[in-house]
Chain A
């Protein structure tokens, strides 16, 4: 909790926060980092293997191979999500499955499955981007800002 927020607490609440904090088990951050590194790395290694596969057996080069590789990873992520075990892998992997493209696919697929009961339009359509939405909004916006900065630097004579 931020210090700013803590200031709003009464002394009694503050005292309890410390009392409770000493009794709440902490998330194993270091172990989670190792697990995330290994599973995230494994997913990337699979991606690299797919890259090689598409470049060797199909007509793709370094620039174009990203699309079929992402498509396969996304497909696998959605498949695992719909079969109901992606969330179990994620409980182990944490950021390892959340950061790669598989995590993004999972946010959309899981929300779509969840809200199927409210119909295809308002349920699936309306809720599909519930978790992925902010990522898209701020991803696109920050890309726009970065592009703008680059253009300005170029216009000023570049580096």
Chain B
């Protein structure tokens, strides 16, 4: 049901009956390593390209989520997925393996919550009994596509971020037990004129703030409703900007309540500049770490605001600024 301007409220409260997170070697040393279902010690995953490695992670995340829900592939009606590789091949090739009717989506690093919102929408509207949403990213494949070759010696600024190698999948159902998806706010594209592709945090922060404010306004609630509000991959720089921006606009969120998946995921001593990024950053942290904390009873109600920078290497070379988006999904235990 539409509430306010851009928020969906799911009256049937679809349940997340299965979720999975897959990670690479760097993630195996991360702060949330215990929350991954599968971890690899090699960024190639035994494949002959980074792109194939990413696809394998995505396949495994999907299969694990279905298995953990106690279902078979045939029980899932629809699959929604997006990633960062050109023409979202990781997602489409995974859909080929799974054989589940598929909708390819693209919201850059906001794809995780875009997929979850759509899956919940389908289930709530009874257009699906079980819907699967997933996303993935691979550090080397992303560097190759957006920046320079992996082994190229370019110095990165302190506000750069580290693309997470991993995948996350979530199975939403109209029956069963698990954390429940109660609402979703679809973000609009916000472009504040930042054009430095290393400065993703600063580019995406206004989009996150815009979506959070819309969510509160549409539902007539405030931050006290949530135990945790986690943005997707703003990193330390973007997180600070978003927090200050919210304060400036009169939205009070206590410091311990507002966090960012890009900060949560890695340990302080891991060399990731300002923090994690990539589709898998929000996906693996939410579908692994945060959902596990909810199942353990540590968190009752959370809002995940996945942020995406909708640029391409070409738009950047043509001197365009970076349009950004954020989608928020509210999950309750």
Binding site for B on A (CB under 8 A): 1, 5, 9-10, 12-14, 16-17, 19-20, 23-28, 32, 81-82, 84, 86-87, 89-91, 93-95, 97-98, 103, 106-107, 109-111, 113-115, 117, 130-131
Q: Once the chains bind, are B154 and A90 in contact (CB under 8 Å)?
A: yes
Q: Annotate B191-203 by CB proximity to A: 1 below 8 A, 0 otherwise.
A: 1111100010110
Chain B positions within 8 Å of A23 at CB level? 202, 237, 240-241, 244
Interface of A: prevailing SS: helix
In contact, B144 and A24 (Cβ under 8 angstroms): no
Given contacts A1-B195, A13-B192, A117-B50, contact A24 B202 (CB under 8 A): yes
Asked whether, in the complex, the Cβ of B152 is within 8 Å of the Cβ of A25, the reply is no
* Chain A residues whose CB sits within 8 angstroms of the CB of B248 once the complex forms: 19
Apart from A24-B202, A27-B157, what 17 extra A-B contacts exist at CB < 8 Å? A5-B319, A13-B191, A17-B192, A24-B159, A27-B158, A28-B158, A81-B153, A86-B151, A87-B151, A90-B154, A91-B155, A94-B155, A98-B153, A98-B154, A106-B151, A107-B152, A113-B149
Please name all residues of chain A whose beta carbon is closer than 8 Å to the beta carbon of B255 when the two chains form the complex.
none
Residue of A with least CB distance to B143: A114
Q: With an 8 A cutoff between CB atoms, is B48 at the interface? A: yes
| Chain B residues within 8 Å of chain A by Cβ, number | 35
Check B202 against A90 for contact (C-beta < 8 Å). no
Shortest Cβ distance from residue A144 to the other chain B in the assembled complex, whole angstroms: 26
Residues of chain A lying within 8 A (CB to CB) of residue B299: none
Asked if A106 meets B152 with Cβ closer than 8 Å, knowing A13-B193, A16-B206, A117-B51, the reply is yes
Q: By DSSP majority rule, is chain B's interface helix, strand, loop, or mixed?
A: loop
Interface residues of B (CB under 8 A from A): 48-51, 144, 148-159, 191-195, 199, 201-202, 205-206, 237, 240-241, 244-245, 248, 274, 319
Give the shortest distance, in Å, between A103 (CB) and chain B (any CB): 7
Q: Which residues of A contact B194 (CB under 8 A)?
A: 17, 20
Complex Cα gap A82–B149 (Å): 12
Q: A24-B202, A117-B49 are in contact. Are A97 and B153 (CB under 8 A)?
A: yes
Distance (Å) between the CB of A82 and the closest chain B CB? 7
Chain B CB count within 10 A is highest, among A16, A84, A93, for A16
Query: For B50, what are the chain A residues with a Cβ–Cβ distance below 8 Å?
Result: 117
A91 B156 Cβ-Cβ under 8 A: yes
